[in-house]
Structure 1
Amino acid sequence: MKYLFSSAIILACLAVAKYLSLLLNSSFPAPLLAMVMLLLLLLTGVVKEHQLKPTASPLLNYMPLFFIPAGVGIVEHLGLIGQHWSLLLTVFIIVPLSSVLLIGGVIAYFKGRENDD
């Protein structure tokens, strides 16, 4: 019975999210909206963790299986990745590095302003 109840809560969140997506004609993914709704229900205490645990625990154990399609997508496009490897490598290095430098500069600026007061 506990499995049925916890599954019903999760599926109800998904059903409401799909209905909202259709009603609002939104391109926002319904599963993501359902997870946000479930988080809000947990944070407000409407739903307790022990109510979801029977169904959520087995799903979390098999979570890596949900990422297999992304890995297959990468393997399917290895030729394209091979053609543009230098651009991809540059982007993977320059974007994080510039982000770190920008954030560091902003923090240093505000730390300097804080000391001037």
Structure 2
Amino acid sequence: MKYLISSVIILTCLAVAKFLTTLLQSSFPAPLLGMVLLLVLLLTGLVKEQHLKPTASPLLNYMPLFFIPAGVGIIEHLGLISQNWPLLLTIFIVVPLSSVLIIGAVIAYFKGRENDS
């Protein structure tokens, strides 16, 4: 019975998320929204950890299997990656670095304005 209750809670969060994304015509991924809903339920105390543990523990044990398709996709496109590695490397370095620098500059600007007042 505990497995049934645990599964129903998880699947209900996913179903509600799927319904919301369809209703709102959102491109937000339903599984991610379902996890956010589940997190909100856990944080508010409406759902307790022990209610989810019977189904969640085996899922977490096999979590690496869910990432195998992504790894296969990378291996499948190694030729394309090797052709475009300078661009990819630039994107992986320049975009996060510029984001951090811009955010830092904006924060410094507003902190400076706050101290002037």
Taking structure 1 as the reference length, what is the TM-score of the superposition? 0.82
Deviation at 1:44, TM superposition (A): 2.8
Q: Which runs of 5+ in 2 are unaligned?
A: none
User: Aligned-pair distance for 1:111?
Assistant: 2.5
Alpha-carbon deviation of 1:68? 1.1
Give 3-state SS (helix, strand or coil) of 1:46's partner.
coil
Q: Aligned residue for 1:37?
A: 37
Map 1:43-58 → 2, pairs under 5 A: 43-58=43-58
C-alpha distance in 1, partners of 2:111/2:24?
44
Paired residue for 1:4? 4
Percent identity of paired positions between Structure 1 and Structure 2? 81
Superposition pairs for residues 98-117 of structure 1, below 5 Å? 98-117=98-117
Structure 1 unaligned regions, length at least 5: none
**1:28 — aligned with what?**
28
Partners of 2:10 and 2:54 in 1: how far apart? 11
C-alpha RMSD of matched pairs (Å): 2.0
Shift of 1:114: 2.6
Residue 18 (structure 1) aligns with = 18
CA distance in 1, matches of 2:104, 2:27: 35
Q: Which residue does the alignment assign to 2:91? A: 91
> CA shift at 1:20, angstroms?
4.1
Matched residue type, 2:97: L
Distance 2:114 2:26 in 1: 44
Query: Once structures 1 and 2 are overlaid, which stretch shifts more, 66-75 or 21-30?
Result: 21-30
Q: Residue 106 of structure 1: CA displacement?
A: 1.4
Q: CA deviation at 1:95?
A: 0.9
Equivalent pairs, count:
117
For residue 19 of structure 1, report the CA deviation from its aligned partner. Answer: 4.0
Q: Taking structure 1 as reference, are residues 16 and 100 closer, same or farther at Cα in structure 2, changes over 3 Å only? A: closer
Residues 32-69 of structure 1: CA distance to partner in whole angstroms, max 9, x if unpaired?
A: 23222222222332211111111112211221211111
- CA spacing shift, 1:102–1:24, aligned 2, 3 Å: closer
Residue 17 to residue 111, structure 1, CA distance change in 2 (3 Å)? closer
